[in-house]
Structure 1
Amino acid sequence: MAELQDDLHTAPEAGELGDLPLDTPFPPEPYAPLPEPDPDAAPLERAYALLETHPVADGYSGLPWALRHLPWYDLELGESAVDTDVPRLRKGRVGALFCSLHLPEGLAANRAVAATLEQLDLVRAVVAGHPEYLRPARTAGEVVDAHHCGRAAVLLGPATAAALDDSLGLLRVLHGLGLRALTLTGTSWASEAGLTRFGDAVVREMNRLGVLADLSGASEPTIRRVLATSRAPVLATRSAARALRPHPANLPDDLLVELGAAKGLCMVPLTAEQTGPTIRDVADHLDHVRALAGPGCVGLSGTYDAGCAHPQELSDASCYPHLIAELLRRGWTEPDLALLTWGNVQRVLRAADSTARTEQARREPATARITELDG
């Protein structure tokens, strides 16, 4: 574990910036003004131009678990057995992705911690094996630094709440190894009935550490309690609009409004099951979420390599420019698209980091046990 933690904290090598050509344009900071759009350019051409500066921050990649079942793979040249590899990340202009540490249904509870650590170790190995293309990141600043150096930033999470084994100490260990998001569902303290007192303590400790709460798949009582309790913005890493498609992980309109009011982020999945079989269906959900939660509270979640079917036009991680082109045709402004692809994730990461600094100055790590709070 110490070796893994050291790897995740490794500073950029001094020569990396110098290895880039002198005329390589460095992207501006996330909220820098966009260059004037060319009104005569075709939507796809405009999409590629926008994504050069404001690439996609993908809210959910199932690649770690998919790779566990392959005897051999080549992500550098291309791997047909998965939806995500280096050539497709580059073609899709993906600048950051959250690598899921979720576990498959039916896995024995006593294997949850070990299986999560194994997946975390696999992500570490994949990133270490592709240093010219991928870089581990924890903070918004590290994500931007990776983009400046021409790499895609890899963030760890979301993990399943079962990986904590009802222990705040394990939450701190996982955070120390790089965990950035935790899905609050499927445990006794985050269930259909909502958060228990121990669940409240978990959320407060997540705020103190800078671990983001992922609410996709959580019950409505849990979602409302987390929105009321959390001092940091929250994520819904795989949620679309239930009004358009009644999937249990999609959010009803009233919760989308509440999520927007709390400055959270709804990351719409590009899956046939949750958003529909065509690129137009996905765009409809993005329109709907933006209208209710606001342009600052909507993001993208490829959900590639997670065992889901995707619209034909969005079959793998290379297809994001086609979705941006569809939104341009619908009248989305380029500043709103820059928020959708990159800026909103940056905002949430920065806010979580700021909250963590404040909370760490205010109080010590929590030591409560579930038996003490929930009896």
Structure 2
Amino acid sequence: MADLQDDIPTTTEVGEDDGLRGGPPAVPPSLDPGRARPEQPTGELLTRAHTLLAAHPVADGYSGLPWALRHLPWYDLELGEAAVDTDVPRLREGHVGALFWSLHLPGGPVGERAAAATLEQLDQVRTVIEAHPEGLRLVRTAGQVIDARNRGRIAVVLGPAHGAALDDSLGILRILRALGLRVLTLAGTAWAGESGLTRFGEEVVREMNRLGVLADLSGASQATAERALALSRTPVLCTRSAARALRPHPANLPDDLLAALGAAKGLCMVPLTAEQTGPTVPDVADHLDHIRDVAGPECVGLSGTYDSGAVHPRDLADASRYPHLVAELLGRGWTETELSLLTWKNVQRVLRSADFTARATQYRREARAPRITDLDTTP
């Protein structure tokens, strides 16, 4: 799997065909001429979808909104903002209850400025949230996510950030956690490469467990993913990964890794991007079906990837369209229990697990302060 930073398309238009990068895609079930194509969701299914999402809102695993807002001279997310895919009215229409705000940089890490650039992103996030107190609330724990929902606010979870932001220092990891970071992407660093985690990389994962920071394996190599799954005492995330069996994108997961992720109670958050899942709602649903069947219903989640520059499937153009996807899944026979896990409960479980493990581990394991130069960097 390759680092996703170089794979993000530059256009935000909805794809009208399947002519996407990465070679000819595999034919997913929804495009198989031998199988009847699911009909568009009926009004009854949409009504049921809205009812279900009112009780079990969406926890969206990836949003590029902070970076998208940087270059706008003025915006009002509570009133509505046409220049981006995400604003408070559309989040409410789509029944989004929690949103992971990416601190990634569109061009990838910026060398020695990766840590500074991530802190600038954090400053941007705080500015945006403080300007919209009636709609958004910054949260640090699973309990605060619930509290924000009960108060009528959309919970903002910080992360994923790029692992390069650590500047090879566990001290910086602790500072970022103190500022609210909850998810860190391992791919694209010197300590999490094609050969797997180095000794320092293993220390990073252990310290993340101690702090309650979740590991994001999207874009990581097979060796890194397997070692992180074996090492981590908390569930790991893949914030932007679908099923490689249906679409051979380098960031999508093969079935053996999906099965391992399910066994470890991790979470695969399927991105709503045409490049990784296909250009239609049924294509996205095919990936969700496949991951549920291979890894189990407790392993699958949603990742809108809105405002990241990605091309989105038709009828999933912005954050208001989640009911259309849920209606499609209802039409395929997904139960309310499975859908509640998909939209909300799986993310809550992972956050609670990380919170619990951090509290338990901090009593038994003191903070370590090695830099990458303090340890042998070979796997």
- List structure 1 segments (4+ residues) > 4 angstroms apart after TM superposition: none
Of 245, 254, 257, the residue aligned with 1:255 is 257
Of 309, 312, 318, the residue aligned with 2:311 is 309
Of 68, 71, 74, the residue aligned with 2:70 is 68
User: How big is each residue's C-alpha offset from its partner over 1:280-314, in whole Å with a ceiling of 9 and x where there is no partner?
Assistant: 00000000000011001100000000010001210
CA distance in 1, matches of 2:131, 2:71: 18
Unaligned runs of 5+ in 2: 1-41
User: How big is each residue's C-alpha offset from its partner over 1:21-80, in whole Å with a ceiling of 9 and x where there is no partner?
Assistant: xxxxxxxxxxxxxxxxxxx98111111011111100000000011111222222122111
Mapped pair 1:225 → 2:227: yes
Q: Which has the higher contact order (CA 8 A, sep 6+)?
A: 2
Of 317, 321, 324, the residue aligned with 1:322 is 324
Structure 2 counterparts to residues 344-355 of structure 1, below 5 A: 344-355=346-357
> Secondary structure in 1 aligned to 2:269?
strand
Mapped pair 1:44 → 2:66: no
1:111 CA drift (Å)? 1.4
Of 53, 56, 79, the residue aligned with 2:55 is 53
Match of 1:291 in 2: 293
Q: Decide whether the 8 Å contact of 2:109 with 2:164 is kept in 1.
A: no
Residue 68 of structure 2 aligns to which amino acid in structure 1?
Answer: A
CA distance in 2, matches of 1:135, 1:243: 38
Residue 249 of structure 1 aligns to which amino acid in structure 2?
Answer: A
> Secondary structure in 1 aligned to 2:274?
coil
Match of 2:11 in 1: none
CA distance in 1, matches of 2:154, 2:108: 32
1:353 CA drift (Å)? 0.5
> Secondary structure in 2 aligned to 1:154?
strand
> Secondary structure in 1 aligned to 2:102?
strand
143-152 or 196-205: bigger deviation: 143-152
User: How big is each residue's C-alpha offset from its partner over 1:89-135, in whole Å with a ceiling of 9 and x where there is no partner?
Assistant: 01000000000000122553111111111111111111111111111
CA distance in 1, matches of 2:345, 2:206: 25
Residue 51 of structure 2 aligns to which amino acid in structure 1?
Answer: A
> Secondary structure in 1 aligned to 2:315?
helix
Match of 1:146 in 2: 148
CA distance in 2, matches of 1:212, 1:250: 19
Structure 2 counterparts to residues 1-375 of structure 1, below 5 A: 42-105=44-107, 107-374=109-376
Residue 328 of structure 2 aligns to which amino acid in structure 1?
Answer: E
CA distance in 2, matches of 1:369, 1:123: 28
Residue 178 of structure 2 aligns to which amino acid in structure 1?
Answer: G
Residue 82 of structure 1 aligns to which amino acid in structure 2?
Answer: V
Residue 89 of structure 1 aligns to which amino acid in structure 2?
Answer: L
User: How big is each residue's C-alpha offset from its partner over 1:201-229, in whole Å with a ceiling of 9 and x where there is no partner?
Assistant: 00000000000000000111000000010
- Aligned length in residues: 336
Q: Decide whether the 8 Å contact of 2:196 with 2:227 is kept in 1.
A: yes
CA distance in 2, matches of 1:132, 1:351: 29
1:189 CA drift (Å)? 0.3
* Normalised TM-score (structure 2): 0.87
Q: Decide whether the 8 Å contact of 2:109 with 2:162 is kept in 1.
A: no
CA distance in 1, matches of 2:62, 2:371: 31
Unaligned runs of 5+ in 1: 1-39
Match of 2:35 in 1: none
> Secondary structure in 2 aligned to 1:346?
helix
Residue 87 of structure 1 aligns to which amino acid in structure 2?
Answer: P
Residue 50 of structure 1 aligns to which amino acid in structure 2?
Answer: L
CA distance in 2, matches of 1:71, 1:272: 30
Q: Decide whether the 8 Å contact of 2:242 with 2:269 is kept in 1.
A: yes
CA RMSD of aligned residues (A): 1.2
Q: Decide whether the 8 Å contact of 2:292 with 2:299 is kept in 1.
A: yes
CA distance in 2, matches of 1:135, 1:108: 29
CA distance in 2, matches of 1:212, 1:346: 13
> Secondary structure in 2 aligned to 1:319?
helix
> Secondary structure in 2 aligned to 1:208?
helix
* Normalised TM-score (structure 1): 0.88
Percent identity, aligned pairs only? 74
CA distance in 1, matches of 2:129, 2:331: 36
User: CA 1:188–1:156 in structure 2 vs 1: closer, same or farther (change >3 Å)?
Assistant: same
Q: Decide whether the 8 Å contact of 2:94 with 2:320 is kept in 1.
A: yes
CA distance in 1, matches of 2:185, 2:172: 15
1:158 CA drift (Å)? 0.2
